[in-house]
Amino acid sequence: MPWSWWPGKWSLCPGPRGWDSDMASKVPRFDVPSRQDCLALMSAYGMLPNIREHSLLVGEVALHLGTALAEAGFDLHLDLIEAGALLHDLGKTACLGTTINHAEWGAQLVHDAGFPEVAQVVREHIILQPNGDLRPVREAEVVNYADKRVLHARVVPLTVRFADLVVRYGKSEQARRRIADLAKTARRLEAKLFAPIALKPVDLLQLNHTRREL
C-alpha cells in the first residue's frame, strides 16, 4: 500500500484505483513532463476514464489561452501550463469517497514523480495561493481558470460550471457560500486574463468542436 500525503503528517491510506507500482516506476522523470509523459502518469495512477477526458479538455483550454497570453507578451511557460492542466486531477480518482483534498494529494504525486513546478500548479487548481511570483500572470492562474471552464468533458461558461457545483456540492449554506466565493474569484480572474488579449471567454466554446483527438 503506497504512502499518501496529507498536510502536516504522513499516513497510510488506500492507494489510487488501478495502482501499478511497477508501471509508475517506469514513468520518465523530467523537470516538465511531455504530453506523453502526462498520459503515462494518468495510466500509472489509474485515472478513471471520465476524469481523463475532463483533464485532456482542460489541457486544450489552458494551452489555447496560455498561447494567446504568451503571444501578447506575457512570460509564460506553455509546457508547464499544459502539463499542469493535464495532471491537475491526477489525485482525484484515489480521493473519491474520502475527505482527502485531491489537489494536495495530486500535487504530492506529481512532486514525487520529480516535477515540483508542475506540482505547484496542480496544488493551485482549485484555490490560488500567493507564492511571491510577481509576474502579472502565472501558469497556475491559467490552469485554475481553464478547469473552471470545463464541466465534465465540455467547455461551458463560468455560470454553467458554478451552477453545476451548487447542485452537486451545495448541500449546506456554508458550502454554497464557499462556491459563491470561488465563482466571484473566477470572474475576477477571467477579467484579468482576457483584458489584454483579443481572445474572448466565449471563444473558448469553439474548442468543443476542434479539440484534439488521441
Instruction: Check which CATH number belongs to the domain holding 86 and give it.
Output: 1.10.3210
- Residues 32/77, Cβ–Cβ less than 8 Å: yes
Task: List CB contacts of 37: < 8 A, sequence separation 6 or more.
Answer: 27, 28, 30, 83
Q: Which of the four pLDDT bands, split at 50, 70 and 90, describes residue 212? A: confident
Q: Which of the four pLDDT bands, split at 50, 70 and 90, describes residue 92? A: very high
Short-list 85, 96, 90, CA closest to 108: 90
Note the pLDDT of residue 213: 61
Q: List the beta strands (DSSP E) in the chain.
A: 3-6, 9-12, 150-151, 154-155
More confidently predicted of 17 and 54:
54
Q: Please say if the pLDDT value at position 107 is more than 80.
A: yes
In a domain, 3, yes or no: no
Q: Please say if the pLDDT value at position 24 is more than 50.
A: no
In a domain, 201, yes or no: yes
Q: What angle do CA 171, 176, 182 make, to 5 degrees?
A: 135
Provide the mean pLDDT of the chain: 88
In a domain, 123, yes or no: yes
φ/ψ region of 89 (left if φ > 0, alpha if ψ in -120 to 50, else beta) reads alpha
Note the pLDDT of residue 31: 87
Q: Which of the four pLDDT bands, split at 50, 70 and 90, describes residue 106? A: very high
Note the pLDDT of residue 162: 98
Q: Which of the four pLDDT bands, split at 50, 70 and 90, describes residue 214? A: low
In a domain, 59, yes or no: yes
Residue 180, domain extent: 21-209
Number of compact structural domains in the chain = 1
Q: Read off the pLDDT of each residue in 172-195 and give the average, rounded to a whole number.
A: 97
97 by Cβ neighbours in 10 Å (0-12 / 13-18 / 19+) ranks as exposed
In a domain, 9, yes or no: no
In a domain, 4, yes or no: no
In a domain, 31, yes or no: yes
Q: Please say if the pLDDT value at position 132 is more than 90.
A: no
Q: Please say if the pLDDT value at position 3 is more than 60.
A: no
- Kindly state the percentage of the chain with pLDDT values over 90: 81
Q: Please say if the pLDDT value at position 109 is more than 60.
A: yes
In a domain, 12, yes or no: no
- Kindly state the percentage of the chain with pLDDT values over 70: 85
More confidently predicted of 24 and 158:
158
